[in-house]
Amino acid sequence: MDAVECIKTRMSIRKFKPEPVPKKVLLNIIDAAKRSPSYKNTQPWEVAIVSGAKKDELSKILIELFEKGEKTSPDIPEPLSWTPNMEMRIKELFRKRSERFGIDFSDPEYIKKAKKANFRFYGAPHGIFLFQDASLPQWSLFDIGLFAQSLMLAAHASGLGTVPQAFLTDYAGAVKEFLGIPESKRLVLGISIGRPDLEDKTNSFRTDRVDSSEIVKWIE
Query: If you average pLDDT over residues 16-42, what whole number do you get?
Result: 98
Question: pLDDT tens for residues 149-177?
Answer: 999 999 999 999 999 999 999 999 999 99
Instruction: Report pLDDT for 196.
Output: 98
Tell me how far apart the alpha carbons of residues 117 and 130 are, in angstroms, rounded to a whole number.
20
Instruction: Report pLDDT for 51.
Output: 98
Query: If you average pLDDT over residues 166-194, what whole number do you get?
Result: 98
Query: If you average pLDDT over residues 103-116, what whole number do you get?
Result: 87
Rounded to 5 degrees, what angle do the CA atoms 140, 144, 148 make? 170
Task: Tell me the pairing of strands 161-165 and 46-51.
Answer: unpaired
Instruction: Calculate the alpha carbon distances from 214 to 4, 32, 137, 188, 220 in Å.
Output: 21, 32, 30, 29, 18
Instruction: Report pLDDT for 152.
Output: 98
Query: If you average pLDDT over residues 131-136, what whole number do you get?
Result: 97
Could you tell me the fold of the domain covering 3-79+119-206? NADH Oxidase (3.40.109)
Query: If you average pLDDT over residues 63-91, what whole number do you get?
Result: 95
Residue 130, classified by CB atoms within 10 Å of its CB into exposed (0-12), middle (13-18) or buried (19+), is buried
Query: What does residue 115 show for φ and ψ, rounded to 5 degrees?
Result: -65, -40
Tell me how far apart the alpha carbons of residues 211 and 131 are, in angstroms, rounded to a whole number.
33
Tell me how far apart the alpha carbons of residues 2 and 212 are, in angstroms, rounded to a whole number.
22
For residue 81, pLDDT over 90 is answered with yes
Instruction: Report pLDDT for 141.
Output: 97
Whole-structure pTM value: 0.95
Q: Predicted confidence band at 192 (pLDDT cuts at 50, 70, 90)? A: very high
Can you give the residue ranges of every domain in the chain? 3-79+119-206
Please check whether residue 20 is in contact with residue 52, taking contact to mean a CB–CB distance below 8 angstroms.
Answer: yes
Query: If you average pLDDT over residues 45-70, what whole number do you get?
Result: 98
